[in-house]
Amino acid sequence: MAIRYELLKTCHQTGARLGRLHTPHGIVETPAFMPVGTLATVKAMSPEELEEMDAQIILSNTYHLFLRPGHEVVAAAGGLHRFMHWNRPILTDSGGFQVFSLSKLRHITEDGVTFRSHISGEPLFIGPEKAMEIQNALGSDIIMAFDECAPYPAEREYVETSLERTTRWAERCLKAHKRPDEQALFGIVQGGVYRDLRERSARSLTALDFPGYAIGGLSVGEPKEIMYDVLEYTVPLLPDTKPRYLMGVGSPDALVEGAVRGIDMFDCVLPTRIARNGTTMTSRGRLVVRNAKYARDFSPLDPACDCYTCRNYTRAYIRHLIKSDEILGLRLTTYHNLYFLLRLMENVRQAIREDRLRNFRDEFFAQYYGQNS
C-alpha cells in the first residue's frame, strides 16, 4: 500500500476529521495545508526553512516539470525528492489544470489534450498515460488522475460530457500507473455545480476504489457559498476511510470551512503569490506592508505570530525591502504567510481534538475578518 489513512477522530461539533496519512516519505497530520512548489521549489523558500515551519507535504506541478526541465531529467537525478532535496511527502498534480489555464491553442479529444508550450510554443500532448508516465518518473508519493477541470460557469451538458470523459480517463490512469505500491493515485471528482453530476462522478470513481479522492472543478471563480454547497453534498459520497483533497483551496476562511465539511488536504498558491507583492496574512486580517502607513511602524507583521520574520523584523523594514524590490523582502513575507497557514491548520487540528472547531471558526473569523472590531 503506497499510503495508509488513519482516521483518529471526528469532531462532534462539525463533520471535521483528525487523521494521519502514512506515506513512504513520512506522516502527514490532517487536515493539512500543502505549500505549492510548482517548479520543484516553493518559491523563495529552502527545504530547511519549510521543515523549520513544519510543512509536512508539498505539491509540485506535472505540466511545468514536463516542459522544464523535463521528467526524464528529474528521473535521472533519482526523482523529485532527490532533485529538490526534500525528503518529506510530495504530491504532484496531473497537468490537466495547467494545460487549460496556461497554454494556448489547446484541443481536447478522447485521447487527451494537445496544446502549445507556454514557454517555447512547441506543440505538445498530455493524456492519461502520459500523465502517469511523467508522475511515475517524478516519483511523488501521491499522484493525481488526468482530468478536465470544467470551467465556471459551464453549461450542464458540457460538464456532463466532460465528467464522463474524465471518468474514462481515470480508468486509463489506473491501468497505466506503473508504481501503485509506491505512489498513491487519487481520483478527482468533477461535475461542476450540478448535484446529480457530482453524485455520478463520485459514484463512478469510488467504484474504482482509489486510495484517495480529490474534489476538483472548484475554486475556479464560483462564489464561496456555492463551493461550500458542493462540498456539503459531495464529501458524504466519499469513503470516510480515505483522504479527501480539495484542490486549489485556499484562503484562511476556505481552509477552515473546508475542514468543517470534512476535507483533509488543501493546496493553494495564495500565500506565496500574494507575499511577492507584499500582502501578508495576519491574525487580524490582511496587511499590505508596502502601504505608506507602515513606513515608521517598528512592530512585527503580526504581534501574535512567533515566526522567524515576526521575531526579527519590523513592518517598516519589510516595507522598505518590498518597495526596493529586495529579494529578502519576498522571502520574509513568504516565510510568514506559509507559517501563518500552517499554524492555522495546527489550530484547526487542535480544535478537532477538543471538539470545538465551530467555536474556533467563529473566534478566528471575528479576529481575521473583524466582524466584532
Ligand X SMILES: CNc1nc2cc3nc(NC)[nH]c3cc2c(=O)[nH]1
Give the binding site for ligand X (CB under 6 A).
93-94, 96-97, 144, 147, 149, 188, 216-217, 219-220, 247-248
Q: How far is the CB of 320 from ligand X (least distance, A)?
A: 32
Q: How far is the CB of 217 from ligand X (least distance, A)?
A: 5
Q: Confirm whether 267 is a catalytic residue.
A: yes
Query: Rounded CA gap, 168 and 175, in Å?
Result: 11
Cα–Cα distances in angstroms (integers) from residue 274 to residues 17, 89, 183, 270, 315, in the given order: 29, 25, 32, 6, 16
Q: Confirm whether 93 is a catalytic residue.
A: yes
Closer to ligand X by CB, 220 or 321: give it: 220
Angle between helices 315-323 and 327-353 (to 10 degrees): 130
Q: How far is the CB of 188 from ligand X (least distance, A)?
A: 5
Q: How far is the CB of 246 from ligand X (least distance, A)?
A: 9
Residue count of the chain, please give it. Answer: 373
Q: Which three cell numbers stand for residue 57?
A: 507535504
Q: Which of these is catalytic: 93, 141, 147, 302? A: 93
Q: Which of these is catalytic: 141, 264, 267, 302? A: 267
Closer to ligand X by CB, 186 or 313: give it: 186
- Measured from each CB, the residue nearest to ligand X is 248
* Positions of E strands within the chain: 4-10, 17-23, 26-30, 32-35, 58-60, 90-92, 104-108, 113-116, 123-126, 142-144, 184-189, 212-215, 244-246, 265-268, 279-282, 285-288
Q: How far is the CB of 166 from ligand X (least distance, A)?
A: 9
Long-range contacts of 45-50 (CB under 8 A, 24+ apart): 45/272, 45/331, 45/334, 45/335, 45/338, 47/84, 47/85, 47/86, 49/308, 49/335, 50/86, 50/338
Closer to ligand X by CB, 55 or 91: give it: 91
Closer to ligand X by CB, 193 or 247: give it: 247
Closer to ligand X by CB, 80 or 188: give it: 188
Q: Are 304 and 321 in contact (CB under 8 A)?
A: no
Cite the active site residues.
Answer: 93, 267
